[in-house]
Amino acid sequence: MTSYVPHTDEDFDRMLADIGLSSVDDLFACIPSALRLAGGLDLPPGLSEPDVAEEMARLAAENRAAGDLTCFAGGGAYDHDVPAVTRALAGRSEFVTSYTPYQPEVAQGVLQALFEYQTLVARLAGLPVANASVYDGATATVEGVNLAVAATGRERVWVSAALNPRWRQALATLTAGKAVELVDVPLEDGRTGWEAFAGSAGAARGGPPAALVAASPNYLGCIDSLARARETADKVGALLVAAFDPVAAGLLRTPGEQGADVAVAEGQPLGTPLAFGGPYLGMFAVAADHVRRLPGRLVGKTVDGAGRTAYVTTLRAREQDIRRERAASNICTNETLIAVAAMVQLAWLGTGGLRELALRCARGARYTRQELLAVPGVEPLASSPVVYEFAVKLPLPAEVVVERMAEEGFLAGVPVDAGAQTGGQSGEQSGLLIAVTEKRTRAEIDAYVVAMEKVVS
């Protein structure tokens, strides 16, 4: 919009004169002509600000908001309740406007909040050290692999086929430049077959891995065995990177208790509403041996010259992350506002509240699964235990079911490739991943099951 262009033609002329150029085009003289756009772009004339706002509103109206549908979708982003206390405290201007606490003398409040966040994440993960967060669960997984590659000097990673596929895609993209080889480990009834794979020819080819990447609950919602992953990791001399769910952590043993070297999670379920995929929160915790390879920021507690409690960024400086090929990570920031929201949510819930929350979700999921499996044509995708997310096979393509369920007022779930997930042929049968959070009432669940029976029949 022209009213927001800050510089006049005279401003441009003065800036060009200062650097010894006669035109803006001279700035791009180093770019070969073959790579430049010839003839400009075929764009319509500009619009006024009210016209642009009206067009954006028209486009937005074509979407159906999450609040218009009763949400049973998950797959990494969940419709959990965000209490008023979380919204009120995390939305305070002291947190909303804060960014980088380079000067601790003026950032004690934010630093203390991040320190408390780290403490809570470390307790959830069962590991001694947690950082001040990374971007999201996917990048947290990537950073866990980067840490393992740097620690072992190996470039092969075994990845559970039940890792969130979008995290798997991010892992493939962000490790490609380091020539890291990702090897998928197949499932057995919804759980990762670590032992069987370790004894296969595929495991022997290419040498031992730097890390095993596991998830529990995994993408299908199944409680996977991190203990078995740990046993396999010990046999091949690898680190164990374990993805966990921060709500399910209210009921399950921590990754650290089960032998994880690195624990990662998506923190969105704690205080962040569904919002078109972000901003979200990557939780990251490690064993003490790997604290020097921790990505991002770490806030520590100390005392100042007068003996008063003080908080500072510690063990690493921003410049440590700018070491090019010698760096284990290039992340030197964190998701402060989203981390503060998660901290407030966890502190508000407490240990008992988190357990109660997870138990309510688990009971809702059990009831929903039981009722759905009574619908003709709906079958379990896996029989392994779940917490609050599960997958079913459908007699129709899952995408069709999702569209028809939306007409009935439900966001039915996330389509999954049932064949690929269960070790069969890709596209073998359509599957649907369903999540039941504490927000779903008995009436909503019953209505969902009735609608599903109508749609699949």
**How many residues can be counted in the chain?**
457
| Cβ–Cβ under 8 Å, residues 318 and 326 | no
Same domain for 255 and 110, yes or no, is yes
CATH for 194: 3.40.640.10
Distance CA 154, CA 231 (A): 19
Q: What is the pLDDT of residue 230?
A: 98
Same domain for 76 and 91, yes or no, is no
Answer whether residue 221 is part of any domain. yes
Domain boundary among 310, 344, 378: 344
Strand partners, 116: none
Same domain for 199 and 330, yes or no, is yes
pTM: 0.87
Longest dimension (CA), the chain: 77
Same domain for 316 and 392, yes or no, is no
Q: Quick one: tokens of 206? A: 């290419």
Same domain for 99 and 248, yes or no, is yes
Answer whether residue 355 is part of any domain. yes
Domain boundary among 319, 344, 369: 344
CATH for 372: 3.90.1150.10
Same domain for 76 and 209, yes or no, is no
Q: What are phi and psi of 146, to 5 degrees?
A: -60, -45
Same domain for 202 and 299, yes or no, is yes
- Alpha carbon separation from 421 to 72, 160, 214 (Å, rounded): 20, 11, 15
Answer whether residue 30 is part of any domain. no
Q: What is the pLDDT of residue 427?
A: 55
Answer whether residue 392 is part of any domain. yes
Same domain for 179 and 202, yes or no, is yes
Residues 6+ apart with CB under 8 A from 125: 244, 254, 255, 256, 260, 263, 265, 283, 285
Answer whether residue 127 is part of any domain. yes
Same domain for 249 and 383, yes or no, is no
Q: What is the pLDDT of residue 204?
A: 75
Same domain for 319 and 379, yes or no, is no
Q: Quick one: tokens of 429? A: 């049968």
Q: What is the domain range of residue 377? A: 66-81+351-456
Answer whether residue 419 is part of any domain. yes
Q: Which amino acid is at 142?
A: V
Answer whether residue 213 is part of any domain. yes
Q: What is the pLDDT of residue 106?
A: 81
Would you give per-residue pLDDT tens digits along the chain (457 residues)?
445 667 888 998 999 999 999 998 898 889 998 888 877 788 888 899 899 999 999 998 888 777 789 999 999 999 999 999 999 999 888 887 766 677 788 889 899 999 999 999 999 999 999 999 999 999 999 999 999 999 999 999 999 999 999 999 999 999 998 889 999 999 999 999 999 999 887 777 788 999 999 999 999 999 999 999 999 999 999 999 999 999 999 999 999 999 999 999 999 999 999 987 788 999 999 999 999 889 988 999 999 999 999 999 888 655 555 666 667 787 888 899 999 999 999 999 999 999 999 999 999 999 999 999 999 999 999 999 999 999 999 999 999 999 999 999 999 999 998 765 555 555 555 899 999 999 999 999 999 999 999 999 9
Number of domains in the chain: 2
Domain boundary among 312, 344, 376: 344
Q: What is the pLDDT of residue 151?
A: 94
Q: What is the pLDDT of residue 320?
A: 53
Same domain for 269 and 289, yes or no, is yes
Distance CA 227, CA 206 (A): 25
Answer whether residue 40 is part of any domain. no
Q: What is the pLDDT of residue 421?
A: 58
Same domain for 380 and 334, yes or no, is no
